[in-house]
Amino acid sequence: MLENLREDLGRRVSAKATSSEGRRYEVLAQELRRMILSGELKVGDPLPAERDLVELTRIGRGSVREAIRILESEGLLRPKSPGRKGVSVVQSASDSTVKRQLRLFISGETVSNDDLLQARLLIEPGLARMAAEMRTDEDIDRLRAINARITEIGASDRQALVGLNLEWHSALFEASHNELLIAIAIGLTETQHQARTMGIYGSAEHARMMAEAHDRILASVIERDGERAERRMRKHLQGYADTLARLNPAEFDITRLNP
């Protein structure tokens, strides 16, 4: 069957490449991507060697290598093992792929910090509601343990505090057990935490308020009160926005969150 797929790939890429439907490497990347996502190429299947792909598709070796590089960057191919006989192997797209692409997009000049907060204000309260409905006892134990650590260190280690806050939010998202929304929310939150404003300016009072807000949200999740969990998460994020605007106004324009 794999041999038939190789022949089909060769015919499609050759036809599209000669009809000027796109750059040659883009055509090959598109066809390989389609085959992986459709299941024609399965996880663990090796790609043909570069030399064989050149022969099959009738495009240059440089284009073949660029197509493979694109799919590796998308997380659909595992980089080939060293050596002349090494081949790339199909792997399943993971949540890290979503996070990586989000970070690349958000890092551009078109997305501002307040755009990012607006997205978080739309997504995270809904995830808090879902967590209240879907959480397990293990989820609750994990959230409690992280928040206990936040209370313990306070502002004595600001960088650790930033990391623990991100860990708590990620744990809450994961309690929703919706893999797509978890990946998106973590990608957004991780990117915003790179600003490290709280790590630079955070005080013992900020740490206390953070832990108390987490406790209130968690109490609603424990009670399976989705509406209250959603409302408390929104209030928590708005408080973060207010603090960020006050501590580093050059980084964030709070007026766009309060029409």
Q: What is this structure's pTM?
A: 0.66
Strands (E), the chain: 77-78, 89-90
Report the top-level CATH class of 2-90.
mainly alpha
Delimit the domains of the chain by residue range: 2-90, 96-257
Q: What DSSP state is assigned to residue 46?
A: B
| Residue 46 pLDDT class (50, 70, 90 cuts) | confident
Q: Read off the pLDDT of residues 190-236 as tens digits, 9 standing for 90 and up.
A: 776 654 555 555 677 778 888 999 999 999 999 999 999 999 999 99
Task: Give the pLDDT of residue 249.
Answer: 47
CA distance 144 to 140: 6
| Residue 127 pLDDT class (50, 70, 90 cuts) | very high
Strands (E), 56-204: 77-78, 89-90
CA distance 59 to 62: 8
Q: Furthest-apart CA pair in the chain: how many Å?
A: 66
| Residue 252 pLDDT class (50, 70, 90 cuts) | very low
Task: Give the pLDDT of residue 85.
Answer: 59
CA distance 204 to 53: 60
Which is higher by pLDDT, 75 or 248? 75
Of 46, 66, 37, which Cα lies nearest the Cα of 6?
A: 46
Residue 1, pLDDT above cutoff 50: no
Which is higher by pLDDT, 176 or 23? 176
Task: Give the pLDDT of residue 72.
Answer: 87
Q: Read off the pLDDT of residues 168-185 as tens digits, 9 standing for 90 and up.
A: 999 999 999 998 899 889
Buried (b) or exposed (e) across 203-237, using 16+ Cβ within 10 A? eeebbeebbebbbbbbebbbeebbebbbbbbbebb
Fold of 96-257: Four Helix Bundle (Hemerythrin (Met), subunit A) (1.20.120)
Task: Give the pLDDT of residue 111.
Answer: 78
Q: Which of 34-48, 55-69, 117-131, 149-163 has the highest mean pLDDT?
A: 117-131
| Residue 106 pLDDT class (50, 70, 90 cuts) | confident
